[in-house]
Structure 1
Amino acid sequence: MSYRMLAHRDHRKTWRCGQLHIRMVSDYRHVMRTLQFMAIMALLAGGCCSSDRKLSDSGDSLGGDQRIQHLFNGRDLDGWIAYSRDGLSSDGGSWSVKDGILCCEGQPIGYLRTTQKYTNYVLTLKWRFDPDRGAGNSGVLLRVIGEDTVWPNSIEAQLHSRNAGDIWNIGNFPMTTDSSRTNGRRTRKEHATNEKPLGEWNTYRIVLDGENLELSVNGLVQNVATDCRVVPGYIALQSEGAPIQFKDIILSPVSGDGRDSSETSTRKE
């Protein structure tokens, strides 16, 4: 709203949204105090707006961006960098893009990771193995921290064929899982495999909400973990010996109940 005021000894002129309003006043000092008060309030309001902007721009959930993000643009490896035992590679290494699909040859062993770190999010992606080249192994690494190495300190959402939904703890990442299903670093998925036949697209839905992790495969919650260390980290896709393909890699904000509005996972009792 446009607001302007001029004060005289016997009256006050005020413009609101272009309209002139005249009010007679008997106390000139009262008018000046009013003007001073309005000036202070204007400064405070400007500061609040600035602070609100900074808060909304600096949220760590999606690296400062609270909108849905397509991590893979379907054209190139922009926003990603490859790593193998030979070091970081800007040319993608075993990773390439063909017909809008992110393709991995499986060699050399390593991973493709984001160049930006993320903390809390809903990550959805689709994957499949080549039926002509057989099933294999891969994984999605979450909250990747520390130096690039094979393998980095992180939480792995397993993609080994018929074992999608398992959780692997890499580098003693702080977390708590179901002890009855945990053997060493592996926590087996809760239900029998529900992956689709080899060659068909599967959907992973991964929720990281503070200390809580939830893994859903094709709409079924297969695993959870609690007390996960809350730290910004990279997201990485493993190159682990077998050709694998990915598409529709999308990051969404976490809602209050740890779910987004695009998809609802179910629990099998």
Structure 2
Amino acid sequence: MKYFITILCIAMTAFSCKKEKAVSLFNGQDLSGWHVDVPEMDTIPNTINPFIIRTGMLVSLGTPRGHLITDDVYKDYRLEVEYRFAGEPGNCGVLVHASTPRALYKMFPKSLEVQMQHEDAGDFWVIVEDIEVDNMVERRGPKKEWGITEGKKRRIINLTDGSEKPLGEWNTMIIECLKDKIKVWVNGDLVNHGFNATVTSGQIAIQAEGSEVEFRKIDISPITTLSK
């Protein structure tokens, strides 16, 4: 009986490890599993796709502006992203819990954005969804100006400065989404922790927002608890 219990425990541990194994969201060869939403591509002939695969990396060229969105919907996961600005520093972001396309400014899908903009990595931007953090007034501004649509204070400033690597070096961003909570780390620093999100699942999106950004890793794995 003791032998059976030992074998069962080993089997359960192995199953658990297998279940939690990270998988890559891009294959290094094409955009399988993703679709592009770039408004200019609807109306302007010969508009380029700003999302390409280059030497095994996913690259957001920055323009024309839009989003690369997963076909699948995800919840309760850990997303690990390794990225760097390929040239001039600028703006980009990872959107989690994305749903309705072009819900804001006829461009951004309904979602919660984790900012990658140089020197602001880890900020939250709410996009027709919302989330709370500690010290909300200090980090978002006067409450009467908060909102989730055009013209409102949608930015929630992160917790740290100086977490990003020097330009040209690779940054690691980890985003954990569990139920109505989101935690973000940049290069090992906890840079944001939100709760009471108005959405708990959705697609994942990468932005083209003006600057070229290279991604060498976008891995996802299921979680049941948030990391400390």
Q: Do the two structures share a fold, i.e. TM-score over 0.5? A: yes
Is contact 2:114–2:125 with CA below 8 Å preserved after alignment? yes
| 1:11-50 → structure 2 map (5 Å cutoff) | none
Please name the residue that 1:129 is paired with.
85
Q: Which residue does the alignment assign to 2:72?
A: 116
- Structure 1 pair 78–92 and aligned structure 2 pair: CA distance change class (3 A): farther
Partner of 2:156: 187
Question: CA 1:199–1:176 in 2, change beyond 3 Å: closer, same or farther?
Answer: same
**Distance in 2 separating the partners of 1:238 and 1:140:** 7
For CA contacts below 8 A with separation 6 or more, give which structure has more relative contact order: 2
Q: Would you say the 8 A contact 2:101–2:108 is kept in 1?
A: no
- Selected match of 1:145 from 99, 123, 136: 99
Distance 1:229 1:74 in 2: 33
| Contact 1:164 1:193 (8 Å CA) reproduced | no
Please give the per-residue CA displacement for 1:131-155, whole angstroms capped at 9, x wherever unaligned. xx31010000010011345111110
What is the CA-CA distance between 1:194 and the residue it aligns to? 1.1
Which secondary structure state, in structure 1, belongs to the residue aligned with residue 217 of structure 2?
Answer: strand
- 1:96 lines up with 2:52 in the alignment: yes
TM-score of the superposed pair, with normalisation by structure 2: 0.78
CA contact (8 A) 2:48 2:64 kept: no
How does the TM-score come out when normalised to structure 1?
0.66
1:201 maps to: 170
User: What stretches of structure 2 of length at least 5 have no aligned partner?
Assistant: 1-18, 142-152
Q: Which amino acid aligns with 1:165?
A: G
Equivalent pairs counted in the alignment come to 190
Structure 1 gap segments, 5+ residues each: 1-64, 260-264
Query: Which letter maps to 2:56?
Result: G
Q: Residue 249 of structure 1: which of 210, 218, 226 is its match?
A: 218
Partner of 2:62: 106
1:113-145 deviation line (CA, Å, top 9, x unaligned): 101111210000101002xx3101000001001
* Deviations, residues 219-263 of structure 1 (Å, cap 9, x unaligned): 1100111001244311000000111111210001113x313xxxx
Secondary structure of 1:181's counterpart equals helix
Which amino acid in structure 2 is aligned with residue 113 of structure 1? I
| 8 Å CA contact 1:95, 1:105 repeated in 2 | yes
With 78-87 and 113-122 compared, the bigger mean Cα shift is at 78-87
Between the aligned partners of 1:97 and 1:241, the Cα distance in structure 2 is 18
CA distance in 2, matches of 1:137, 1:108: 13
Return the index of the structure with the highest Cα Rg: 1
Partners of 1:212 and 1:123 lie apart in 2 by 14
Percent same amino acid at aligned positions? 33
